[in-house]
Amino acid sequence: MTNKAYSYIRFSSPEQAKGDSYRRQRDAAVQYCVDHDLELATAREYTFLDKGKSAYSGRHLDDEGQLKRFLDLVENGTIERGSYLLVESLDRLSREKVNTALPRFMDLLNRGIRVVTLADERLYTDEFNELDLIISIVHMSRAHNESSTKGDRVSAAWSNKKALARTEKKPLGKACPYWLTLIDDQYQPVPERVGTVKLIFDLAIQGYGQGVIPRLLNERGIPVFGSRNRNHSGAWGTSSVSKLLGNRALLGEYQPTHIVGGKRVNDGEPVAGFFPVVIEESVFYQAQAVRAERRIHKTGKQSERFNVFQGIMKCRTCGDAMHLVNKGRPPKGATYLQCHSARKGVCKNGYLRVERAERVLREVLAKVDSLSLVQASEGQTMKELATVDGKMQTVNERLATAVELMTETPSSALAVMVQNLEGEQEALRKEQQRLKELLAVNQVVSKKDFFAQLDIVSFEGRHAANRLLKRLGILISASVTSDHQMHTVSAEGISQFQIIHFGTSMLMLAAQQKIVDLRVLQGEISAEQREAAIRLIELRNDPSLIDSSDIANRLKAVDMSKVRLKGTLPKPV
């Protein structure tokens, strides 16, 4: 009966993966089996390969290591006594200290596993003698000492490089961000890659998520950063875009790191002005603000036409989100908004035709501080506000990290850092308030001009409108019955007005006097009709009005023709 042999191959760095390490170790195992009449296991479950696993740190023996899997199969009897384990040399099994590595090696032998070192074709078995033991100890000790010395040298070299980077801003070497290259000991931008970086940020600010951006880049045939060895697909992915959007090296910062407890953590404050700046600070922080909003509002899969109601339209009956649904097939099919719970049969709220909801949205935008959507000057203020929001996000994250570290290991340096970050946080909060107040003084006066310029058709325009309403804390609660649809609009939790559909007419009921005054300013009602609208506020404050099934009869006391919004709607659903 031919004995079974198992090959264990390990290399600890991507550089070794690029070279000949795997082929060399694999070919040696095949040749040994041919020479000694052994059957080399080739099935996937019996192939043991650790790529990038360090034997010095013992990572090949953690829960994900292939050597650990081999040991488990030996222990449970799947790999039988008399089997062979083929390794290039004993240092492939372990570069740990002898007192750690030797007992594990001896345990393999005692369980009947025959260990072969292919480099010298030495066979170790459970019938080992003192010479075998001495040789194995010498190999393990030498391997550990070599790794320890190499690690100390590399660590010292990098420590020196990091020190020079801080004090003299001396380049670290050819290893640098993908959009840069080292020329004459200076980092220089790679123009075509910088162009790709700027495109990615533009797409992010326009509202495209980090799941959609890679698809757009791949469709345009834009080359991905990095080599095929690191990115085997050769295509952009979510991870690469996400890491790029959050990379502060784009702002010129170099963040030194070191290993603590097997994890890479920041080593002190970043070094400003180390790399060439390729993205303006305002653009970087605008992208961070958009990404933060997407996380907060849990923006999911995007369609080609941005869902302008995402995160702002709720069911008035149960409070659940309203989602887009399609009924029927094109061209006769139509798109509706439906309560998520209603889709599961839990809520009784009806379907709302998207065309009607978009008409409501236009009226909502005309009643909030939304001139920034159509005017360049206010648009600049919105960009400044987004930049401040992005900076606030970064400061909040750094402050949370510093406070956590203070809790674990208090120090005067951390205390100063926390104090400084709190000062930055307060300054940014004041700047946020100033910019919001600047935007708040801009009201829509001419609805005709506003609607002529308003874009809620394009992806970018719909995203801008949705983002503005979220920033203002606007929420639209919708309820649909057989004879009317009611939309209650609130800002930061305070009711502002209601829009009610009766057949082909649309009525507005103000809950705040400022909305009535704005309607006068926009020419919807006259100064004389203002009193009737004020009287509607009193009716609006009657809770029984909202839930009443005979709402039309209760409103007959007021001359509704004087406050009806102009224009007609599609026929009711």
Residues 347 and 489 in one domain: yes
Question: Are the CB atoms for 339 and 320 separated by under 8 Å?
Answer: yes
Residues 133 and 202 in one domain: no
Specify if 547 maps to a domain: yes
pLDDT confidence of residue 262: 61
User: E strand or H helix at 110, and its extent?
Assistant: helix 98-110
Specify if 211 maps to a domain: yes
pLDDT in tens, 524-567: 888 888 887 887 777 666 655 444 444 444 444 444 444 445 44
Specify if 383 maps to a domain: no
pLDDT confidence of residue 2: 67
pLDDT confidence of residue 447: 83
- Number of domains within the chain: 3
Sign of CA dihedral 272, 277, 280, 285: negative
pLDDT in tens, 39-55: 998 877 777 887 754 43
pLDDT in tens, 22-43: 788 888 889 999 999 999 988 7
Domain with 113, as residue range(s), is 4-146
Residues 274 and 315 in one domain: no
Last residue of a domain, one of 146, 172, 199: 146
Residues 333 and 226 in one domain: no
Through-space distance between the first and last CA atoms of the chain, rounded to whole angstroms: 79
Residues 187 and 275 in one domain: yes
Whether 18 shows a pLDDT value over 90: the answer reads no
Residues 263 and 334 in one domain: no
Query: Strands, DSSP E only, in 12-147?
Result: 39-40, 48-51, 84-87, 114-117, 122-124
Specify if 371 maps to a domain: no
Residues 18 and 104 in one domain: yes
Residues 137 and 190 in one domain: no
d(CA 406, CA 399): 10
d(CA 82, CA 2): 10
d(CA 249, CA 275): 7
pLDDT in tens, 371-413: 767 765 556 777 788 888 888 888 888 888 888 888 888 888 8
Residues 207 and 258 in one domain: yes
This prediction has a pTM of 0.48
C-alpha angle 329-334-337 in degrees, rounded to nearest 5: 125
Residue with tokens 């292939």: 66
Mean pLDDT rounded to a whole number for the chain = 77
The pLDDT of 214-230, averaged and rounded, is 83
Query: Beta strands 4-11 and 48-51: pairing type?
Result: parallel
d(CA 448, CA 453): 9
pLDDT in tens, 482-491: 878 899 999 9
Neighbouring residues of 396: CB distance < 8 A, sequence distance ≥ 6: 425
CATH of the domain at 34: 3.40.50.1390
d(CA 131, CA 138): 11
Last residue of a domain, one of 279, 302, 324: 279
Residues 133 and 232 in one domain: no
pLDDT confidence of residue 329: 60
pLDDT confidence of residue 378: 54
Specify if 377 maps to a domain: no
pLDDT confidence of residue 569: 37
Residues 122 and 16 in one domain: yes
Specify if 217 maps to a domain: yes
User: What percent of the chain shows pLDDT beyond 70?
Assistant: 73
C-alpha angle 263-265-268 in degrees, rounded to nearest 5: 155
Lowest-confidence region among 378-392, 432-446, 498-512? 432-446
pLDDT confidence of residue 314: 93
Angle between helices 191-206 and 459-471 (to 10 degrees): 60
User: What percent of the chain shows pLDDT beyond 90?
Assistant: 12
Lowest-confidence region among 202-206, 213-217, 218-222, 408-412? 408-412
Q: Strand, helix or coil at 88?
A: coil
Residues 253 and 344 in one domain: no
Q: How many CB atoms lie within 10 A of CB 124?
A: 21
User: E strand or H helix at 323, and its extent?
Assistant: strand 322-327
Query: And the tokens for 108?
Result: 């393999």
The pLDDT of 267-274, averaged and rounded, is 84
pLDDT confidence of residue 179: 94
pLDDT confidence of residue 279: 92
Last residue of a domain, one of 123, 146, 169: 146
CATH of the domain at 235: 3.90.1750
The pLDDT of 183-195, averaged and rounded, is 92
Q: Is the peptide bond before 331 cis (omega within 30 degrees of 0)?
A: yes
